[in-house]
Amino acid sequence: MKNKTVFTSAGPVTDYLARGDFEIGIQQTNIMVGVPGTDYVGPLPGFLNKPCLSSVGLSTNSKQPEAARAMIRFMISPEAAPLLRKTYVEPFHP
């Protein structure tokens, strides 16, 4: 398969799949699910399925820093987990 592997850099792999450039694509689940012209068939098996970490930060010149902090606290709370999973994003694990 190595000689048939293509790494993309000009947009999500789903763009290539939808155009018919590729038959199989691998990318983060939350980006792949529901894209017209593609079928999401499931996650990669075990050792191939590595989490893609996300980060959140607060600008030092934020006009509403306390509101931003409250949103960040919610984003990493157990209450946010079901909402994140609906979009195929894994919640924060301390």
Q: Which two tokens stand for residue 92?
A: 């924060």
Burial class (CB in 10 A: 0-12, 13-18, 19+), 45: exposed
Residue 13 neighbours by CB under 8 Å, 6+ apart:
22, 25, 26, 27, 32
- CA torsion 12→15→21→24, rounded to 10°? 60
pLDDT along the chain (94 residues), means of 10: 84 91 89 90 86 86 96 94 90 81
Q: Where are the domains of the chain?
A: 1-41, 51-94
Count Cβ atoms below 10 Å from residue 52 Cβ, excluding itself: 11
Task: Give the per-residue pLDDT at 58.
Answer: 94
